[in-house]
Structure 1
């Protein structure tokens, strides 16, 4: 996966493009706390949206549920498609 990735989502019939880097995602996760989830999502979307899409995006971000849904979709698409399997430890035999 490249460092920088463009992701386009269709929201209410309009396309919005976001450009994410590992630094953007790290900043988002570091800002999320149990009492602060919407603001980091809003910031992630407004700082990574193409400037020409920002004015049309802002009204959608007035709804916190839509903000969370869009941020979740962007982050899910950014994640690499890698299968991760947790290996169970082998039982230790006692003699």
Structure 2
């Protein structure tokens, strides 16, 4: 796997689920998010990236939309690069 692809294991209760994320998976998730549609893209991300043999065990857990959002959030947080971002204050004066 290259550094943009990641295999991430989440432990939910006593069960473990392994997901393989690629930049295309994450892009598809973000592009599907709308103001009124957040749970379905999260569900799709989880179901399409989990190991195939773990899908049947994961699916019942995703009946709860809060669980979907928590798992998708944990997955994305772990996938994201660890960078420090500092926002500098803007100058109060305008340049001509």
Alignment TM-score, normalising by the size of structure 2: 0.91
Secondary structure of 1:2's aligned partner: coil
Answer yes or no: is 1:56 the counterpart of 2:57. yes
Q: How does 1:25-40 map to 2 (within 5 A)?
A: 25-40=26-41
CA distance in 1: counterparts of 2:70 and 2:43, whole angstroms: 11
Structure 2 residues without counterparts, runs of 5 or longer: none
Report the Cα offset of residue 88 of structure 1. 1.7
Tell me the equivalent position of 2:79.
78
Structure 1 residues without counterparts, runs of 5 or longer: none
Q: CA 1:93–1:73 in 2, change beyond 3 Å: closer, same or farther?
A: closer
RMSD over aligned Cα atoms: 1.6
Q: How many residues align?
A: 94
Deviation per CA, 1:5-64, whole angstroms, max 9, x where unpaired?
A: 011000121000010011111110000001000000000000000111111100101111
Q: CA 1:90–1:19 in 2, change beyond 3 Å: closer, same or farther?
A: same
Q: CA 1:92–1:13 in 2, change beyond 3 Å: closer, same or farther?
A: same
Q: Which runs of 4+ in 1 moved over 4 A?
A: none
CA distance in 2: counterparts of 1:61 and 1:5, whole angstroms: 22
Alignment TM-score, normalising by the size of structure 1: 0.92
